[in-house]
Amino acid sequence: MTELVAETSETPTAVAEEPETPLGRGYVRTTGSLSRRMILIAAAWILLLLTGGGFALDRVLSSAITRNFDDQLEYVLTALIVSAEIGPDGEVVFNREPADQRFLEPYSGLYWQVSTRGREDFPSRSLWDRRLSFGSQHTDLGIHSYDSVQFNAEKLRILERDVKLPGSPLRWRFQVAQTREGLDAQINALRRTLVRSFVLLGLGLIIMAALQTFYGLWPLRKVREEIARMRAGKSRQIERAMPIEVAPMVEELNGLIAHNERQAEEARRHAGNLAHALKTPLTVIMNAATAQADDLGETVVREARTMRRQVDHHLARARAVGRRGSAHSRADVWPSLESVERAVARLYRHVRIDIAGSKTLQVHVERQDLDEMLGNLIENAAKYGGGSVFVTVGQHSGFVEFLIEDDGMGIPEEQRVRIFDRGVRLDSGKPGTGLGMAIVRDVAEIYEGTVSLEESEDLGGLLVRLRLPAAN
């Protein structure tokens, strides 16, 4: 509705030129490899768990082996205590000698000794000329086990216990000692087995994580291949089946591609509309200049003003496309209807315009674009109707619905689709550019709305049904 657009100044609208972006593949900033990052995280976590688990398992198994070793020594210690008694001279004697032959072999690695304060130590033959240290500073009423390095060339595991034998006022300390060589050999063999097993397990888990990462990220490589196919013009969207986790991203990407295609089509359509709108004024100017008409200056000014309005209008359409994020656009319906009604009533004073409906409705549309659509439709109804225009507004299924009815001749059903093409005018006897209905359709589609033509049952003329997304 170019006649209803307020002219604020005669100065052409300045358009900021955006810097040209070079075509082709651009450089993308990266933050490292996603695969490498996932593998490193998995490897670090695996190593941490295996190290902690290996240390705990080593402690448990080493303690179990040591406890089993101590149990054997405790059996020997208990057998010594049970077979010990006090002889006639007050010394300890055994009524039954220990059965292990190593107690008789010098430096065999298995020893026993009975000691007390003020008496000579009673050692096994295997100790030969050595003695187990006897500390009288503490009392071992229970079994006490510990490691000793009192023999420099031999590490010992010692179990001892203090016992008061019948018939003796003294407390005797019974000690059994055995070299740790066998115990340490078992623990070292166990640790070697654990280290080898855990290293193999860690390598296997890291390889598995790498394979899992490679296989799990494989669909992203497929997406890249599909995008390359689109760049090469071999396809219009990603059609290959994707995993559930990647499918939403692919759907959004296909939606973005479709969105860009629609914007490109809208840009082509707006360019065509602008070219068609400028063609007639330029032809008038050229004809006037060729004929050297007396009113050439007035003609140039008039047609230039018309061309400027067309340029401003299509720049507004371009801005509407840029404001496509309708969630941020909001306009009150009733003030826009009243404003358009007053403007059209001043142009067509013989036409009666009635509006009815809810006064609190809002739409997800910019106010300027809402005025443009309603202005075109109501002006057309006033221009081509018989003198009565009735506008009804209501809300249905998430949309605000505008019904613009007139009492004119209407439009035949076979021509209702054609009327939305740019430049099409069914009544060439009245002024206009043939862009009004095409503009309404284009802007409505920008905001995901619709416009359709029907026959008015009440007034008998044309009924235009405009549906726009509701904001309340």
Delineate the domains of the chain, giving CATH numbers in brackets.
58-186 (3.30.450), 326-469 (3.30.565.10)
Q: Directed axis angle between helix 436-446 and helix 296-322, to 10°?
A: 20
pLDDT greater at residue 434 or residue 81: 81
- What is the per-residue pLDDT for 111? 94
pLDDT greater at residue 272 or residue 3: 272
Residues 378-427: tens digit of each pLDDT:
998 998 888 899 999 999 989 999 999 999 888 877 777 767 665 444 44
Q: pLDDT at residue 10 above 60?
A: no
CA 2 from centroid of its chain's CA atoms: 46
- What is the per-residue pLDDT for 138? 67
| Ordered DSSP codes for 23-78 | PSPPP----S-HHHHHHHHHHHHHHHHHHHHHHHHHHHHHHHHHHHHHHHHHHHHH
Structure tokens at 7: 């002219």
Burial of 65 (0-12, 13-18, 19+ CB in 10 A): middle
CB 158 within 8 A of CB 177: yes
Q: pLDDT at residue 447 above 80?
A: yes
User: What's the pTM?
Assistant: 0.52
- What is the per-residue pLDDT for 340? 92
- Percent share of the chain, pLDDT over 70: 86
Read off the pLDDT band of 28 (50, 70, 90): low
Q: Which residues contact 118 (CB under 8 A, 6 or more apart)?
A: 170
CA 451 from centroid of its chain's CA atoms: 38
Residues 190-242: tens digit of each pLDDT:
999 999 999 999 999 999 999 988 888 888 888 888 888 888 878 888 878 88
Residues 281-315: tens digit of each pLDDT:
888 888 888 888 888 888 888 888 878 877 766 77
- What is the per-residue pLDDT for 42? 92
Q: pLDDT at residue 466 above 70?
A: yes
Q: pLDDT at residue 448 above 70?
A: yes
- What is the per-residue pLDDT for 324? 54
Host H or E run for residue 389? strand 388-396
Q: Which residues contact 331 (CB under 8 A, 6 or more apart)?
A: 362, 363, 365, 366, 367, 370, 471
- Percent share of the chain, pLDDT over 90: 39
Pick from 277, 273, 262, 315: which is nearest to 446 by CA? 262
Residues 141-176: tens digit of each pLDDT:
889 999 999 888 889 999 999 998 888 888 899 999
Q: pLDDT at residue 334 above 50?
A: yes
Residues 34-43: tens digit of each pLDDT:
888 889 999 9
Average pLDDT, the chain: 83
Residues 82-94: tens digit of each pLDDT:
999 988 888 888 8
- How many angstroms separate the CA atoms of 106 and 109, rounded? 8
Q: pLDDT at residue 255 above 70?
A: yes
